[in-house]
Amino acid sequence: MSRIISFTDLYLPAGKYVNVEFGNPKKKDCQGLGICNMDFSGTPVRALGACQGCRRTGAMVYYDGRAGKVELHFRRRDICAGSYARQFKGGRFTVEEHFHFTPALAQHCGLPEGSTILRGQYAYEEKGGHLRILIPLGMAVPAYY
């Protein structure tokens, strides 16, 4: 028996699975919009309260080096209703503060060192139960460099 592979599966390079916590990294308890934290899949999830647990989900990260963009793919069913309503409001994914990939996370995802998701509003595509966000990478130097 053969399996039909979609064009999207053929086009995308191998992605890396990560855990994403939505929110603003500069606000208490990651309140706000954007990406508060991202870590390797399989990393022990720290003890999270019910509200914080709702903001956390898995995603696939793909890097297109030629275009200098990172793609984040989420399964819609893995994002709780509250997070979806806040984070993906009005057809846009809003990032209130820059999100800096740590050197280890950048290496894990195949990104250049110093890769940053800059604050802004990013359109996303929702299709077939998946959300796809295509984000141009910035190169900002965070405090830990």
Domain span holding position 12: 7-139
pLDDT band at 40 (very low <50, low <70, confident <90, very high): confident
pLDDT (tens digit per residue) in 50-97: 445 568 888 999 998 888 899 999 999 989 888 899 999 899 999 999
Q: Is residue 46 part of a domain?
A: yes
pLDDT band at 121 (very low <50, low <70, confident <90, very high): very high
As a whole number, mean pLDDT of residues 13-31 equals 84
User: What separation in angstroms does the CA of 54 have from each of 18, 49, 86, 121?
Assistant: 16, 9, 12, 22
Q: Is residue 129 part of a domain?
A: yes
Q: Is residue 75 part of a domain?
A: yes
Q: Is residue 2 part of a domain?
A: no
Q: Is residue 144 part of a domain?
A: no
Instruction: Point out the least confidently predicted range of 5-19, 59-73, 112-126.
Output: 5-19
pLDDT band at 45 (very low <50, low <70, confident <90, very high): very low
Q: How many independent structural domains does the chain possess?
A: 1
pTM of the model as a whole: 0.78
* CB contact at 8 A, 101 and 111: yes
Q: Is residue 18 part of a domain?
A: yes
Compute the distance between CA of residue 142 and CA of residue 14 in angstroms, rounded to an integer. 27
Q: Is residue 1 part of a domain?
A: no
Q: Is residue 101 part of a domain?
A: yes
